[in-house]
């Protein structure tokens, strides 16, 4: 008998375990968003569309997933997501400030309750003087009803730095799982 996704008999490998965990978190996020009648949008750099794909893979996601913007190039972070060029110049594309601005930019541009963003260094080489595995993820929250505020207050954002290890694909996969988990944290804090 083979383990799904492994192609060989025996226990699932690390990538299979990561994929299973990622799918479980994505299903949880979609279920909670659906129950709350809220929506999410994603801005991705190092994950290159993997976060959007994880959400879209869940049946029923179309009710809560507004879409995503893959801004792999630094100039696109400014032009598509509204990240201030001064932030990019001062802090770089791989920074907490950029991750927050990406999340807020995609949230407001795509009309979602929550914005999620990923930026970092997946390798194989360092970037901007930051080592491989340096990742920032951000979640922002705001009211999307017409005429309401569209800016983040201190309680409406969570930014995390991750120091991940492994291959390029490992880092990207771990980032997706961590970003989805961050969305769940933000939703649960909202109910406290």
Q: Is domain 16-27+36-190 classified as CATH 3.90.950.20?
A: yes
Listing DSSP states for 84-96 in one string gives: -HHHHHHH-SSSH
Residue 46's Cβ-count burial label (10 Å; 0-12, 13-18, 19+) is: buried
Residue 21's alpha-carbon distances to 18, 50, 93, 121, in angstroms, are 5, 14, 28, 22
Tokens, residue 145: 């009803």
- pLDDT in tens for each of the 192 residues of the chain? 333 444 444 455 666 888 999 999 999 999 999 999 999 999 999 999 999 999 999 999 999 999 999 999 999 999 999 999 999 999 999 999 999 999 999 999 999 999 999 999 999 999 999 999 999 999 999 975 444 444 444 569 999 999 999 999 999 999 999 999 999 999 998 766
- The 8-class DSSP code of residue 113 comes to S
């Amino acid at each position: 008998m083979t383990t799904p996704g492994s192609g060989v008999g025996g226990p699932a490998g690390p990538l299979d375990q990561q994929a299973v965990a990622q799918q479980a978190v994505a299903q949880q996020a979609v279920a909670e968003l659906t129950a709350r009648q809220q929506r999410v949008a994603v801005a991705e750099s190092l994950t290159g569309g993997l976060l959007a794909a994880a959400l879209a893979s869940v049946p029923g996601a179309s009710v809560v997933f507004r879409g995503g913007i893959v801004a792999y190039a630094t100039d696109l972070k400014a032009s598509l997501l509204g990240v201030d060029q001064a932030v990019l110049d001062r802090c770089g594309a791989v920074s907490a400030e950029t991750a927050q601005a990406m999340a807020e930019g995609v949230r407001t541009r795509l009309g979602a309750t929550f914005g999620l963003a990923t930026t970092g260094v997946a390798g194989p080489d360092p970037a901007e003087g930051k080592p491989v595995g340096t990742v920032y993820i951000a979640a922002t929250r705001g009211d999307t009803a017409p005429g309401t505020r569209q800016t983040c207050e201190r309680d409406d954002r969570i930014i995390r730095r991750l120091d991940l290890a492994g291959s390029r694909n490992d880092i990207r996969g771990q980032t997706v799982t961590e970003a989805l988990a961050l969305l769940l944290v933000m939703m649960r804090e909202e109910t406290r």
